[in-house]
Every structure is written in structure tokens, then in C-alpha cells.
Structure 1
Amino acid sequence: MDFHLVPRGEDRNYTGFLTKTIVYSSTLIVFLASLGLTISSIIVPKWLSYHSDRPSFHYSYGLHRRCSSLTDICESFPQREDCHAEDRYFCSMWRSVGFLMSFAVVLQGMSLVTYLIVLSGGKRLRESGWKILSTLIILSAVVQAASMSIVAYLFDNEDRFFVGWQLDESWIYCTVSWCVSLFCAGALILAAHSLPSEGGYELIPDHS
């Protein structure tokens, strides 16, 4: 019995195309939420906060600003006077977190562009684009995880953060963001290895 290569049916091609498009589109929506959380963690000045009820008082550190309820203003942080003597280490680490989070946004922006290119491209991009896309997303997640870890380390080891200080909502935004990013990357990798190809050829027997 002989076999011949023939193109697969159009219905199977369409199913493969539709499935992969759904995966890319759905993870893109989730990834946009992750990007929004990353930007929020940078903008909202609440990585570390101190709350006091008596007297009522609130103080918080953001990546680039610190805020006090006593003055009702937020000022740039860290400033030059915050980086002297023993505070140099804290200042350097805090600025590193700010740089890493900005770099994470750049990586996520590149991931977003890659998403759009893959979705607007043809079969070849849908079949292989997940490799670059998942790599960029994982890198952004690693950078954010490093930022989160540095802040948690400073919270545990810096004397300025005594009883009453806590990791606040911006830190949570960052943590949720990189977890969601890893979910998106995992979904793309799983789909690439488990879903059928969009098209190609298959063997059929020749009964002649």
C-alpha cells in the first residue's frame, strides 16, 4: 500500500488558526492587566507605609516620591540629603528598584508590540512567535520579582522601618503583576506544545 502527502482539510486549518488566535488574544488581555499593575506600582507612592492612629498620621515611600499626612504633600525621593553616610546603601538599593521597575515596563512594552505583530501576522508568526514573546514576558517578570525582593529585604533589614511599617499596595501590585505575567508566558508555552499545527500535510493511503 502506497501513501501520498496531501494538504490537511481547510476545517482543520481554520480550527488551528482560531485556537491559536484565541490563546494569543486572551493572554494579551490578561497581560494588559499585568502592565497596568506595573505602571500603577510605579506611580502610586505606597511601596512601604507607616500608619498611626494616635495621633492620626500616615507616611509612605514610593519609588520616586514620599508622602506625609502632616504636610499633605509628596516630595521627590530619594533626594541628595537622603544619600549620605549610612543611608547611601539604602539610597542605592532604592534607586536600583526604581531602575528595575522602569526596565520592566520597557520589557512589557516590547512584549505588547510582539503580541500585536504576532496577531497581525501570518501562520509562521503564530507558530513560532511564542518563543520571543514568552521570553520577553518571563524576563519582565524576573525583573519585577527582583524589585519586589529588594524592597522586602530592605523592609526586613533597614532600621528605619520599625514596628508599624508595612509593605503596602504598590508592592502588592508589583507582586501580582509578575505572577500574572508568568501565567501568560506559561499559557503561551503550553499552547505551543499542546495545540495542533494550523496546517501542513498528512499521509493518506493509496488503494490503487
Structure 2
Amino acid sequence: MTRRGIYTFGFVVTLACTAMTIASIVEPRWLSYGSNDKRQYSMGLHSRCSTVTGTCKHFPQYDDCVGDKWGFCSMWRTVGFLLSFSVVVELCMLVSFIVIVVGGVQRRVTGWKVLSPLLAFGGIVQCAGMAIVAFLYDHDERFFDGWYLDLSFTLATISWSLLVLTGLGIAASAIYLPAEGDYELIPDPLFTSDETEQ
């Protein structure tokens, strides 16, 4: 059975994953051009920045979506949707953790059946968004030599990996750990007195 301490640890990990997901959305560093110590351009889910000019612009813009570029544009916007949806799922997880921990032993006994699939689902949603970025990085012509996957991609990778591992850990603890505060059998005085007389 999953104990309060395991749920509390899972809550802390999920809180960290939520912070990393939000940071990966806000920070415009999914793909960057240049070198790690001297980045010239970087692209986020909603903006494109240049360290040369020191400015950031909304991304993708109309020019990025016309003609045969519409595929890139729609896929990039899908990543933004998936990551934003993942934050909503993570917030639901945090509320679920609080309800289960505060709710007593009965909720802790059955809570893993809700939390583990929810954690796995959140991880899969993030992984799907990250996979689209990796696909575009490998196949879109705008990402030539000099572009690389940057900090936001790394944060998203750590986040979904920890979510899936936390879900597996909570499920494993529920299946393999003994029940919390399990009852001990109380000897029956009538039954024991009959045995002693024989």
C-alpha cells in the first residue's frame, strides 16, 4: 500500500515537473543557433529571439505559415498546445495529491489507481510535444548546421521522464508494500481456553 510519505514525495516531484514545464514554455530556447557560449538566435514555442539585435518577436508569424510552410507552422503550434495542456494535467495531479494525502488511509489505498495513469498520461502528452520538436529539428530545412536543441527541450525531457517514473513508483509501492497500519488478529479467549482444556 502507498504511504503518506510516498505520496508527499510524488507531490514534490510533480511540483518540480510542473515548474520545469512552465519554464520550457516561457523560455524561448527550444532550438538555438550558434554555440552554447555564444547563442545568436533562439526559438521558443511562442517567440523567436536574437542576441545580435537583442529583440524577441512573436513566433510563428504569418510568413512562417504561408505556402508549403503551413506544415511546420501547424506542428509548432501543436507543440505549444500539448505543452500547455500538459501544465493543466499537472495541476490536476497536484490537486489529486493533496486530496489523497489529506483524505485519510482509505483514499491513500485507492488513490494510486487515479494518480498513476494521470502521471503517465501527462508524461505521454509532454513526450509527444517533445517528439514533434525533435522531428522538425531533424527534417525541416530551416534547421541547418549550427542549430541545436536547447534548454527548454532538456527541461521538457526531464519533466516527462520524472512524471512517468513517479507514476510507476507509486503503482509499484501500492502493489508491493504491505498495508499501512495493518490490523493484527486479536486472539479469541473462548477458542484459546478450549484448546488448553484439551
2:114 alignment counterpart: 132
The runs of 5 or more residues in structure 2 that have no matched partner are none
Answer 1 or 2: higher relative contact order, Cα 8 Å, separation at least 6.
1
Matches within 5 A, 1:135-146: 135-146=117-128
* Offset from partner CA, 1:33-83 (integer Å, 9 cap, x none): 111111111011000000169xx7610110001101222111111122221
* Offset from partner CA, 1:106-141 (integer Å, 9 cap, x none): 100100000000011021110001111111111110
Deviation at 1:192, TM superposition (A): 0.4
Matches within 5 A, 1:99-114: 99-114=81-96
Verify: 1:71 aligned to 2:69, yes or no: no
| Number of residues of Structure 1 aligned to a counterpart in Structure 2 | 189
Deviation at 1:201, TM superposition (A): 6.5
Deviation at 1:87, TM superposition (A): 1.0
Instruction: Determine the C-alpha separation between the residues in 1 that align with 2:5 and 2:116.
Output: 16
- C-alpha change, 1:176 and 1:81, in structure 2 (3 Å) is same
- C-alpha change, 1:141 and 1:85, in structure 2 (3 Å) is same
The runs of 5 or more residues in structure 1 that have no matched partner are 1-15
Deviation at 1:200, TM superposition (A): 4.8
Verify: 1:188 aligned to 2:170, yes or no: yes
Which structure carries more strand by proportion?
A: 1
Which amino acid counterpart does residue 64 of structure 1 have in structure 2?
Answer: H
Instruction: Determine the C-alpha separation between the residues in 1 that align with 2:19 and 2:177.
Output: 29
- Give the conservation status (yes or no) of the 8 Å contact 2:32–2:39: no
1:4 alignment counterpart: none
1:159 alignment counterpart: 141
